[in-house]
Amino acid sequence: MGFYGRTVIYSDLSYIDESNVVDALYKALPAFQTNQTQIEWLYHYFKGNQPILNRIKEVRSEINNKVVENHANEIVTFKTGYLIGEPIQYVNYGQTEVSEDLNLLNRYMNEEHKPTRDAELANWFHICGTSYRMALPDGNADNDDAPFEIFTLDPQETFVVYSNSIGHRPLMGVYVTTIQNVRHYHVYTDHAKYEIVNREIIDRRDHILGMIPIIEYPLNKERIGAFEIVIPLLNAINTTASNRLDGIEQFVQALFVLKGVEIESEDFQRVKKLGGIQIPKEGDIDYLVQELNQMETQTLVDYMYQTVLVIVGMPNRNGGSSTSDTGAATIMRDGWQSAEARAKLTETTFDESEMRFLRLILNIVNTYRDIDLRLSTIEIKFTRRNYQNLLEKVEALNMILNNDKIHPKLGFELCGAFTDPEYAYKISAEYYEAQQQKALAELNEINGVHTDDV
């Protein structure tokens, strides 16, 4: 089955309300159902249900090994872990002072398990090219610190419809539930939510969010999954692995040929079960053997696997080493630079959706809490690989801290040694101030000066 990404669903409408929401929904359903079928197939492929399991072997059908080398799972797992193995943080953008409100927002996100939700999102868009998140006000906000809730929606049951005009503004977000075999479509617009069943609106409610609470997080513009472009190679690897086992088993169960030896039908069936076949010519008995060349096959498998890694942008598994290699040289040689470049490209797409999500969250937080956060003052910070080259990062931080022309906070942000540079700077500044006060108190004690007298 050949796929080329998911279809983006557009509408010619300029707005959607109660008068046209049903028509807009049912015009979008054919494209959604096509995407749904493809996403379901890719999800099953990721879990290991791959075409090799339906293999039919015509010759010696009793020897038919079906081996799944699930590199699709390997690709998705690596890319998700590499992209957001460390939690995404929000830091002040262009500000030198630490924002207590922003620290509170980060705590809210941790309370709502956002790192886990981010991992779920990344897993989905690496599998099928896109994913969806929903945020709503917390119904128990009085008993909960965070005034919002975050949900990761199944892309097999979710879609967003965009305007066909310049900018492609989202017009509505839809998620589908099935109750007693009846499809319920929950449609969100900027100001209302509709529940539609069998082309009828059975429920309508206004909301004060000011935007659609369902946000799409595509992996790329084409909505192509991480392993989707190498599925033919992955299938070929499975076929080769299955054929190798067939070759070994057929060698062990080699047929022997009886030339010119006529036997009765019942005897022939017994001989056949033992691995013999009858050829009516001059008498001769021999084994029919053709062994698969394992070295040549391994070369082919290695070539296909390395090609897969290059195409999807993953580090190779050569295991080569050199005593003169530096950390940077290893990164360049083994493909980690390619993995980093792909991750940075994914970050830019992720950031666009994350800013929409943040705008929604700030609408909720500023309404339900005494907080005044603005989107323009927040920067999304990926903290990937902060543990590598730690000595170099600490040295860079030390150089910046010793330069009186650079604000110390910039050192914490630029060195890359901390998963949360905002928090690291805050507690470090507090620690430094405490140490200064302690040193001053000790000095005054030595000089016989009481603190109250200073």
CB atoms within 10 A of CB 323: 4
CA distances from 355 to 162, 221, 351 (A): 17, 17, 6
Read off the pLDDT of residues 85-132 as tens digits, 9 standing for 90 and up.
Answer: 888 888 887 665 667 888 889 899 999 999 999 999 999 999 999 999
pLDDT recorded at residue 202:
95
Question: What is the bridge-based pairing of β-strands 276-279 and 255-259?
Answer: parallel
Provide the pLDDT for residue 211: 94
The whole-number pLDDT of residue 409 equals 82
130-142 confidence digits (pLDDT tens): 999 999 998 765 5
pLDDT in tens, 154-189: 999 999 999 999 989 999 999 999 999 999 999 999
pLDDT in the model for residue 383: 74
Tell me, what's the pLDDT at 125?
96
Supply the pLDDT for residue 260: 57
- Which two structure tokens, joined as six digits, stand for 436? 């200064």
- Determine the Cα–Cα distance for residues 175 and 452; give it in Å rounded to an integer: 66
Full-model pTM: 0.80
Write the pLDDT tens digit of every residue in 248-302.
776 666 555 555 556 566 655 565 555 555 555 555 555 455 555 677 788 888 8
What does the pLDDT read at residue 422?
Answer: 73
72 vs 407, more confident: 72
Residue 323 confidence (pLDDT): 47
pLDDT, averaged across the chain:
83
For the record, the structure tokens of 144 come out as 């909960």
